[in-house]
Chain A
Amino acid sequence: MLSHVRELRERQGWSQGELAERLDVSRQTINAIETGKYDPSLPLAFRIARLFGKRIEQVFIDDDAAR
């Protein structure tokens, strides 16, 4: 699943490590989410969206809708 996590993170001036620390996950997990290699669980996706002050559908791109 694609997402806007990288752009939102860079807009905040955070490194992947800093974002990982704020979400209490590993840097590897952040990297996997940003590269679309891992789809986060619903609770984690909500935490990410809440951290950036966005709705979940503004952060994560629905693959089916995008097609």
Chain B
Amino acid sequence: MTRNRRRALALLVASALLLLVGWLGHVLAWPIAQTLLGMLAGLGAGGLLLALLLWWSPDICESTQPALQRRYLREFMPAMLGYVLALFLSMWLLRTFELPDALRALVALLPVPPIAFAVRAIIRYIRDTDELQRRIELEALSIATAGVSLGYLSAGLLQAAKVIDVPASAAMIWVFPLVCLVYGVAKVVIARRYS
């Protein structure tokens, strides 16, 4: 078994445990904040998907120059950590305090700057990676944006015809995660053509 496949297996086990803890906590009504349990389950689900992608494309870790990969992780990981912390802070402030509208808007938008830094890290990575990786990124991003746009158009038409009824806040907040998800899957599929 290759090193990356061993990593995939370890990630699979850890993610399954997180998902199990999140689900059990919810079902058995443990005295832990539902938000935290939801985040654990979400991390577990995301980790499971990443483990499957890593298993299926074991050379994905060699898809970029090592120095560039280190720089990307140095820039991306703190930004994502900042996003999670800002999200928790924002949610807590909005639930705890009665704020005037302008301040509510600022507090609600607290997670946006860290995400902007994460996007900056992604753009810098794509700009500095090699020509084959840029081709793969372009194709994956095209599929992700076109696919999610088509999905949202279809959902919008169904919503207008009153076939479905999705709350607007839920619909809007899932655009970015869906683009990331489709992009990730598309990238692995496309990269396999060249391996």
Q: Are B194 and A26 in contact (CB-based, < 8 A)?
A: no
- Bound complex: CA A21 to CA B191 (Å): 20
Asked whether, in the complex, the Cβ of B195 is within 8 Å of the Cβ of A40, the reply is: no
Q: List, in ascending order, chain B residues with CB within 8 A of A24's CB.
A: 65, 130
Query: Which of B62, B63, B131, B133 has a CB less than 8 Å from the CB of A40?
Result: B131
Q: Does A44 lie within 8 Å of B195, measured CB to CB?
A: no
Please, how many angstroms separate the alpha-carbon atoms of A35 and B94 in the complex?
Answer: 56
Known A-B contacts A31-B195, A32-B194, A37-B193; the reply to A25 vs B62 at CB < 8 A is: no
- Residues of A within 8 Å of B, CB-based: how many? 16
Contacting pair A32 B130 (CB below 8 A): no
With A20-B65, A24-B65 known as contacts, the answer to whether A29 contacts B133 (CB < 8 A) is yes
In the assembled complex, B90 has its CB within 8 A of some CB on chain A = no
A26, B193: Cβ atoms under 8 Å?
no
- Complex CA distance for A59 and B156, rounded to whole angstroms: 54
A24–B64 CA distance with the chains assembled, in angstroms: 9
Residues of A within 8 A of B194 (CB): 28, 31-32, 37-38
A27 at the interface (CB under 8 A from B): yes
- Least Cβ distance of A57 to chain B in Å? 21
Interface: A12 (CB within 8 A)? no
Give the chain A neighbours of B193 by CB distance below 8 A. Answer: 37
B195 adjacent to A26 (CB under 8 Å): no
CA distance A29 to B65 in the complex (A): 10
Interchain CB contact under 8 A, A28 and B131: no
* Docked-complex contact B191 and A26, CB < 8 angstroms: no
Known: A27-B59, A31-B194. 5 other contacts (CB 8 A): A21-B66, A24-B130, A25-B132, A26-B62, A26-B129
A-B contact pairs, 28 of them (CB 8 A): A17-B62, A20-B65, A21-B65, A24-B130, A25-B130, A25-B132, A26-B62, A26-B65, A26-B130, A26-B133, A27-B62, A28-B59, A28-B62, A28-B63, A28-B191, A28-B194, A28-B195, A29-B130, A29-B131, A29-B132, A31-B195, A32-B132, A32-B195, A37-B193, A37-B194, A38-B132, A38-B194, A44-B131
10 smallest beta-carbon distances between A and B, as pairs: A25-B130, A32-B194, A29-B132, A27-B62, A28-B63, A37-B194, A26-B64, A29-B130, A38-B132, A41-B131
